[in-house]
Structure 1
Amino acid sequence: MSQQQPPVRSTRRGPSRAHRPRAVAAAGALVLLPLVTACGGDDGDRGTGGGKAAPSVTAAPAAGVVAPAKVEVIAGLTGCKAKIRIDADELRQGLCRTKKADYVITTFPEERFKETWLEEARVYGGKYLVGPRWVVSVKPALMESFRAKLGGTIRELRGIGPEPGKQ
């Protein structure tokens, strides 16, 4: 008679360290969903990267500098005091509320976390102002004025599903 061994049960709880950045990036993308859908707008011009982020503006700001990757500094440059919503190892995120707009500033300790976050945000589409280790989500009408203050590149991410008006 052969004896059957009981199935092996894992004692691990939660995502592994290797999966935490992706989980945090996905959570960050979900936090942005209401702002992206409210501020996304359709300018009629869509990215052509087949779903990949495609830069649409690459010029440096008038001041010739690019904002550092710190929520409070970026918020100050845009004229607000950010309310920190997420303070994790992989990202920090602050919400700014001004008379002109509400917007989100997300910073990352490493460039790879920013790229993971952008890849996850691709599902929602929209335009983002992207700099070294930071992303600002603001309505498209203010994107150029923010780029002049902060630097960075405007990236349009194509969402999933059919494009509006082309069904």
Structure 2
Amino acid sequence: MFQQSTAGLVRGAALAGSLALFPFTAACGAGNDTDDKGAPGPVTVTAAPEAGVVAPAKVEVIAGLTGCTAKIRIEADELRQGVCHTEKSDYLITTFPEERHKQAWLEAASVYGGQYLVGSRWVVGARPEALSRFRSRLGGTARQLSATGPTAAPKGA
């Protein structure tokens, strides 16, 4: 119960801070987003330079940025997951409608361990060499989850 109230306070403080800074960011950035005719110009995304999209993205968008067409294997209220098979690697792309669903998924995945590229409401699970290629396209943070589940009994026991 203590964790929920602490998490609520943190979210509330983050929201209040964001709202307090909003007028400044809106006022400062207005001059650079239009062309000479007043039409909106392209938006720059710094977290994923090659992506050029605002997170959270769909499974299909992330798959396209990584060079595959995902086959959707889970379509649920809490998440969508697609599988990608390419010549270089096989990997999973999972997106979430809310950040809390992503956190719950990561906690459950920690039983299995592995490396993941984690972004805003999305996770890509792949071999480390693939994740390093994807990071420049998608942004995100590389995370190593350590296996915490039961281990197999030793041979001969």
Number of equivalences? 105
Q: 1:121 aligns with which of 82, 85, 109?
A: 109
What's the TM-score, normalizing by structure 1? Answer: 0.58
2: distance between equivalents of 1:64 and 1:135?
A: 15
Q: Is 1:93 paired with 2:62?
A: no
Relative to its length, the structure with more helix (as a share) is 2
Cα gap change, 1:122 to 1:63, in 2 (>3 Å): same
1:148 is matched with: 136
Match of 2:120, as an amino acid?
P
Please tell me the root mean square deviation across aligned C-alpha atoms, in Å.
2.3
Verify: 1:111 aligned to 2:123, yes or no. Answer: no
* Structure 1 segments unaligned to the other structure (5+ residues): 1-58, 163-167
The TM-score normalised by the length of structure 2 is 0.61
Distance 1:150 1:119, change over 3 A: same
Unpaired segments ≥5 residues, structure 2: 1-45, 151-157
1:68 Cα deviation (Å)?
3.1
Aligned to 1:69: 57
Asked if 2 retains the 8 angstrom alpha-carbon contact of 1:68 and 1:74, the reply is no
Task: Give the deviation of 1:144 after TM superposition.
Answer: 1.1
Q: Sequence identity, in percent?
A: 66
1:130 to 2:144 alignment: no
SS class of match (1:128): strand
> Any idea what SS the aligned residue of 2:72 has?
strand
Q: Secondary structure at the match of 2:123?
A: strand
2:67 paired residue number: 79
SS at match of 1:99: coil
SS of the equivalent of 2:148 reads coil
- 1:45-86 deviations in whole A, cap 9, x for unaligned? xxxxxxxxxxxxxx9444485653310000011111100000
What residue in structure 2 maps to residue 50 of structure 1?
A: none
Q: Is the CA contact 2:120–2:140 (under 8 Å) kept in the aligned structure 1? A: yes
